């Protein structure tokens, strides 16, 4: 388990992380999301003892990283896919890590096979592609068979098969009861993988909730229904303060209530329902709403065709 308690990091007058308090629990894949400059990498570096907090604590299994006797056996991490020494082979690199933490050398061959690098164990890592570097980093994270794992953009450079493999690996690690924290900008991948989301912006906590709850909180999440009494039902639902949009026929889109609540209200109104379903927002849509005011480097909106400059003739 990872526990953050009032975690704060300042660089001069700039506040990179501001009073962050949350728990990253075992048995779940926790997605760590936020815009560029939100403080995600700084937070992960403080958890690993690479940056010292200005105030507050980052604890792994109740201890600061610096106080762990054999850290690789308690927490494994990949923050940089190209962090290995370019002159070392994959095997040599991992053996050095194993010796420093009292890990049997036979474990090196096990993790190299697990990540699919058995055929290139003797090659120097400077020849590795970004995807191979990711796999080597994951091998290093798994070397000590730790209960806590942290990954920063783990699918960068991987082909579709590799992305699917990483997704399955994260899920299997969480299913074994391990704590898995994954930082990524790929919302579609997070929607496929994560159970819990921690979203930060400008160093502060925006959301800490199950992924379904984050998506359900989007204004774009709605209930779709079809009823032969659509007009009357629309008036009844609107009178109760719900948002209602119709197509002039038998279909309504309702916002502001759960699917269960809409079904109960339709029943109370005596309306016959031919369809009642959720029209869920994507995680990307929910994320964009949550972080709309936290983007440090916003790009201008692309002009529509009507707004585009006319060609000179």
CB neighbour class for 204 (10 Å; exposed up to 12, middle 13-18, buried from 19): middle
Extract the tokens encoding 222: 């709605």
Find where tokens 């585009």 sit. 308
Q: What's the pLDDT score for residue 297?
A: 60
- CA 62, 68, 70, 74 dihedral sign is positive
Instruction: Tell me the C-alpha distance between 169 and 114, whole Å.
Output: 10
Higher-confidence residue of 86 and 49: namely 49
Confidence of residue 256 (pLDDT cuts 50, 70, 90): confident
pLDDT tens per residue across span 176-185 = 999 999 999 9
Instruction: Tell me the C-alpha distance between 194 and 30, whole Å.
Output: 6
**Count of other CB atoms within 10 angstroms of residue 180:** 29
Output the average pLDDT for the chain: 91
Domains along the chain? 2-210 (3.40.50.300), 222-279 (3.30.70.980)
Query: Which residues have CB under 8 Å from 99's CB, separation 6+?
Result: 105
pLDDT tens per residue across span 93-124 = 999 999 999 999 999 999 999 999 999 989 99
Pick from 162, 153, 110, 99: nearest CA to 135:
162
pLDDT tens per residue across span 148-204 = 999 999 998 889 999 999 999 999 999 999 999 999 999 999 999 999 999 999 999
């Amino acid at each position: 388990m990872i526990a953050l308690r009032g975690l704060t990091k300042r660089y001069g007058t700039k506040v990179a992380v501001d009073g962050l308090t949350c728990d990253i629990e075992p048995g779940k894949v926790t997605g760590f999301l936020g815009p560029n400059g939100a403080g995600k990498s700084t937070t992960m570096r403080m958890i690993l003892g690479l940056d010292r907090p200005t105030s507050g604590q980052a604890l792994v299994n109740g201890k600061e990283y610096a106080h762990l006797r054999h850290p690789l056996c308690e927490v494994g991490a990949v923050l940089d896919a190209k962090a290995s020494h370019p002159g070392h082979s994959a095997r040599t690199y991992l053996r050095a890590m194993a010796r420093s933490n009292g890990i049997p050398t036979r474990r090196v061959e096990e993790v190299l096979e697990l990540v699919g690098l058995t055929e290139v164990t003797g090659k120097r890592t400077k020849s590795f592609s970004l995807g191979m570097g990711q796999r080597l980093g994951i091998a290093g994270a798994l070397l000590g068979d730790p209960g806590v794992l942290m990954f920063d953009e783990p699918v960068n450079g991987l082909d579709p098969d590799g992305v699917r493999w990483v997704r399955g690996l994260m899920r299997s690690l969480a299913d074994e009861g391990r704590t898995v924290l994954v930082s990524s900008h790929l919302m579609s991948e997070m929607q496929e993988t994560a159970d819990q989301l921690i979203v930060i912006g400008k160093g502060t906590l925006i959301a800490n909730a199950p992924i379904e709850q984050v998506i359900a909180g989007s204004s774009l999440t709605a209930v779709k229904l079809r009823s032969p009494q659509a007009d009357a039902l629309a008036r009844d639902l609107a009178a109760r303060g719900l948002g209602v949009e119709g197509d002039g026929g038998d279909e309504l889109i309702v916002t502001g209530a759960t699917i269960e609540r809409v079904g109960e209200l339709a029943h109370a109104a005596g309306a016959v329902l031919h369809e009642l379903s959720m029209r869920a927002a994507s995680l990307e849509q929910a994320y964009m709403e949550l972080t709309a005011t936290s983007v440090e480097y916003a790009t201008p909106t692309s002009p529509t065709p009507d707004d585009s400059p006319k060609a000179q003739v």
